[in-house]
Structure 1
């Protein structure tokens, strides 16, 4: 049975008497006071009921709106505080912006061509040949050290020769990546960002991507590295700030170093040259100490040290048929081969369709170099520091204009 509605006097300013359903809604003990003008709602907002009901005696459930139309005031906030409006959503970073001109689709396309996995190009062979004088000097050093082992001398030399295989040993690669290059394994979030791009790169190249490992360097510089035989490292800055197309171009460039054999040949040559490098540093340190000690004996002592070191050097050069003299020019020749390998890696990335993206990366690298030069100039009192001719010859990377010139044939197809 329908209960009679309350007296109209209890509802100020209400034009008509609303008909309530059979089950009346529960109101709080202290009924809110509604003014004539804008209603002031209590801190705990009560649901808004409709003001008109059909003139039917059948009970009709109250119709609640989906969301209150008035601003909600938190319990601890001041009632007079103005309502806060949500700020506009921030723009997505360049690495996740699909509208960026260098954004690419990374839909999985598994392509595997066995002949494209790995080979040794001319630059890799040239690097190995240039390391030959260093290798022979290291062999002499290891031979002198092995003489202290008596009958096991030959075994020591064989073990040193076989140690070169460690550059392809995964645990050894990981140790070198951590200790020498400062790399680390990517986090799950970083892996989720890198792997789709890497799959796209390896699919275009016809390479099995699982043959390589992705690593991350905690650096704010734009850089990447191809290390040992299976490691591709990229800086945190490049991963988080480059559009995925430019990141793909960087990874394709490093893959070019692996596919061309540049990474393993360079590391192998460096490994076999290491005993000779260590012996040279020890010899320099001993000579420096002997020279400073000889000063206490005047000119006679200095002349004795100079003649002793000079005689030892001449004996070494004559015994090895002048090969030690070639070591003086090896760094410049290796730098030239290194510049050529960078151009080969650029061409590899461009041939996979990343030429425009690679150009964008090169321009960003150039801007980074200009900022570093400006910082050095500022520290030098505003006087520019010019790079010497020898420093340019020892540079392992070609300049921007040379790299752009070699990319022109690949850019022509894009207009």
Structure 2
């Protein structure tokens, strides 16, 4: 028989639980510390009262000033010459332009200048031989450039010192211009607005399609007075004054150039003749006088009319200014135009005062001939012609 192996001791499946920790004796609480002894409180004696000064009388205090509000800029609409530019329906006239008596008179008065210029151009064309007739015809056709828009722009920019308005300036000018043209029944797009960089009160109607105003008039005038200025210049265009004057001036240029050349040459010859004494001067005077007499007799005295033309043209120009004033007044701008004329008169008086001060306090008197050569009527004449319109009810 086989022997059974010895049995091994069996261990419990759960490990034995540790025994509870031993209980240590609790220490007794420490005895309380003895408190500090209480001493009686001693209050410091109060200081003796000092004599009080007599109380100053109380005066009523002024209320604090109210905070001042910032100054408000003046409202342009509150000006008596402010107009509304919110125009509704516009009636456009069929007849946009006409040629009034002053325009016809200007053309007729430029006729002697035109004939003298034609004579000068004919003499110059002789140097071109067979092509001379082409030179004459080209000069006659050149008058159409007055109505050529690029040529007008060149004239406005180079000769008159005008420029195109900026977007801000255009936003200010165009509503006023639309109101003026709406009252006149004129197509506003037929004309161009230009600006002159000047601090004077002025405006111009140039060529056939240009209305120019100064920077001062655009920025300083109420919109009603600015409209009156524009309506005045529109009157020059509607009446034909602008294109008639420019056309006559253009065709008179060859004659004027020839006159300046002859004048300079005569002055030079006269100074040279003085070196030969009185005899040389007498000979030169006789020669020039003979040429002048022959010219006058051969042209039936026409050159003598040229000497009187500046005075006649100035008279027609003054009449055209009155017609333009009437045009602005008929559109309802008579009070505004009268205010503008007053400002122009004050500006002229300041200029005269400055010239008088520069002359040592002696006033410069205008001669009668210079008054006849003035292109604008005097202040009182223009106001006199506006009186019938000033008595009418507002537009």
Range class of TM-score, shorter chain: 0.7 to 0.9
Match 1:326 to one of 281, 305, 308: 305
1:181 aligns with 2:160: yes
1:104 aligns with 2:83: yes
Larger radius of gyration: 2
- Structure 1 residue aligned with 2:17: none
SS of alignment partner, residue 154 of structure 1 = helix
**Stretch moving more, 102-111 or 181-190:** 102-111
Match 2:205 to one of 226, 250, 258: 226
Match 1:91 to one of 68, 73, 85: 73
- Structure 2 residue aligned with 1:153: 132
Offset at residue 317 of structure 1 (A): 0.8
- Structure 1 segments, 4+ long, off by >3 Å, are none
State the alpha-carbon separation in 1 of the partners of residues 155 and 315 from structure 2.
25
State the alpha-carbon separation in 1 of the partners of residues 296 and 253 from structure 2.
19
- Structure 1 residue aligned with 2:385: 406
**Aligned pair in 2 of structure 1 residues 110, 130: CA closer, same or farther (>3 Å)?**
farther
State the alpha-carbon separation in 2 of the partners of residues 395 and 231 from structure 1.
23
Match 1:121 to one of 76, 89, 100: 100
Offset at residue 400 of structure 1 (A): 1.1
**Aligned pair in 2 of structure 1 residues 271, 91: CA closer, same or farther (>3 Å)?**
same
- Structure 1 residue aligned with 2:293: 314
Offset at residue 86 of structure 1 (A): 8.7
Offset at residue 365 of structure 1 (A): 0.3
**Aligned pair in 2 of structure 1 residues 181, 110: CA closer, same or farther (>3 Å)?**
farther
SS of alignment partner, residue 114 of structure 1 = coil
Offset at residue 109 of structure 1 (A): 3.3
Aligned 8 A contact 2:92 2:182 in 1: no
1:206 aligns with 2:185: yes
**Aligned pair in 2 of structure 1 residues 217, 291: CA closer, same or farther (>3 Å)?**
same
The 5 A counterparts of 1:324-363 are 324-363=303-342
1:166 aligns with 2:148: no
Q: Aligned-pair RMSD on alpha carbons?
A: 1.3
- Structure 1 residue aligned with 2:348: 369
Match 1:263 to one of 236, 242, 265: 242
**Aligned pair in 2 of structure 1 residues 319, 109: CA closer, same or farther (>3 Å)?**
farther
Aligned 8 A contact 1:138 1:272 in 2: yes
Q: Relative contact order: is structure 1 or structure 2 higher (C-alpha 8 Å, sep ≥ 6)?
A: 2
1:388 aligns with 2:371: no
State the alpha-carbon separation in 1 of the partners of residues 143 and 332 from structure 2.
35
Q: Deviations over 1:349-374 (max 9, x none)?
A: 00000000000000000000000000
Offset at residue 223 of structure 1 (A): 0.2
Aligned 8 A contact 1:295 1:301 in 2: yes
**Aligned pair in 2 of structure 1 residues 149, 378: CA closer, same or farther (>3 Å)?**
same
Q: Deviations over 1:152-187 (max 9, x none)?
A: 111110000000000100000000001110000000
Aligned 8 A contact 1:108 1:196 in 2: no
1:248 aligns with 2:227: yes
